[in-house]
Amino acid sequence: MPDRNQAALDFLLTRRSRPAKTLGLPVPTRAELEPILQAGLRSPDHGKLEPWRLIVLERAALMRLAGLVEARGPELGRAPEEIAKARSQFADAHLAVAVIEVQKTSEKIPAIEQSYSAGAVCLALLNAALASGWGANWLSGWASHDRVWAEAALGLGEGERIAGFIHIGSETSAPPERPRPDPAAVISWMSE
């Protein structure tokens, strides 16, 4: 039987994202954030393409993004409450990591596998932040899917898109546990 890392398994069986609106100060320092970022970069990456990059967003950058949401929302016909919610994702935050999917040309690695790899980076960053004792949440939203906003906000180039924003900070309140999937309803076994 292989060696078991019970602490890691216990963490994964009890991990819980923290709502971004409950994350406050302090946030990790650059030195405290480095191992979290490194853990994220250890995600599955078929063909070693590195189909992603990270942008660490500090407070001033987040406020700039909030302003861009406020300006872009009406252009897209978004309702005021949708704009306010998307704006608060950035305006109320103190630290976030934007995970940028970077599609690479490859004869062997399909685009969808590159997208999966970028998603794996998001989850790895989220779990690494939580395992480090910080509160964390993975968010996206309408603004992150709008090409005009993404280019203005983060300078995305061709073949790049936002996989998610990982918000990290100190937990100010613990949410109640939410219902989890019933394993019997979503797991099947095949023996032949």
What pLDDT, in 10s, does the model give residues 55-112?
999 999 999 999 999 999 999 999 999 999 999 999 999 999 999 999 999 999 999 9
The Cα-based distances of 143 to 3, 18, 65, 105, 164 in angstroms read 44, 21, 10, 26, 11
User: What average pLDDT does this structure show over 36-43?
Assistant: 98
Q: Evaluate whether 167 touches 20 at the Cβ level (below 8 Å).
A: yes
The Cα-based distances of 32 to 14, 61, 108 in angstroms read 23, 19, 36
Could you tell me the pLDDT band of residue 173, with boundaries at 50, 70 and 90? confident
What pLDDT was estimated at residue 46? 87
Residue 177: how many CB atoms within 10 A of its CB?
8
pLDDT surpasses 90 at 154: yes
What pLDDT was estimated at residue 1? 83
pLDDT surpasses 90 at 132: yes
Consult the annotation and say whether 46 binds a ligand.
yes
What pLDDT was estimated at residue 144? 97
- Residue ranges per domain, the chain? 20-170
Consult the annotation and say whether 15 binds a ligand.
yes
Indicate the pairing of strand 52-58 with strand 135-139.
Answer: unpaired
Q: Evaluate whether 164 touches 139 at the Cβ level (below 8 Å).
A: yes
Q: Which two tokens stand for residue 105?
A: 């040309």
Could you tell me the pLDDT band of residue 20, with boundaries at 50, 70 and 90? very high
What pLDDT was estimated at residue 178? 87
* Burial of 74: CB neighbours in 10 Å, binned 0-12, 13-18, 19+: exposed
The whole-model pTM stands at 0.95
Consult the annotation and say whether 138 binds a ligand.
yes
What fold, for 20-170?
NADH Oxidase (3.40.109)
Alpha-carbon gap, residue 31 to 9, rounded angstroms: 26
List pLDDT tens digits, range 80-94: 999 999 999 999 999
pLDDT surpasses 90 at 120: yes
Consult the annotation and say whether 149 binds a ligand.
no
User: What average pLDDT does this structure show over 5-31?
Assistant: 96
The Cα-based distances of 76 to 33, 106, 107 in angstroms read 35, 34, 37
More confident position, 1 or 142: 142
Could you tell me the pLDDT band of residue 164, with boundaries at 50, 70 and 90? very high
pLDDT above 70 as % of the chain: 100
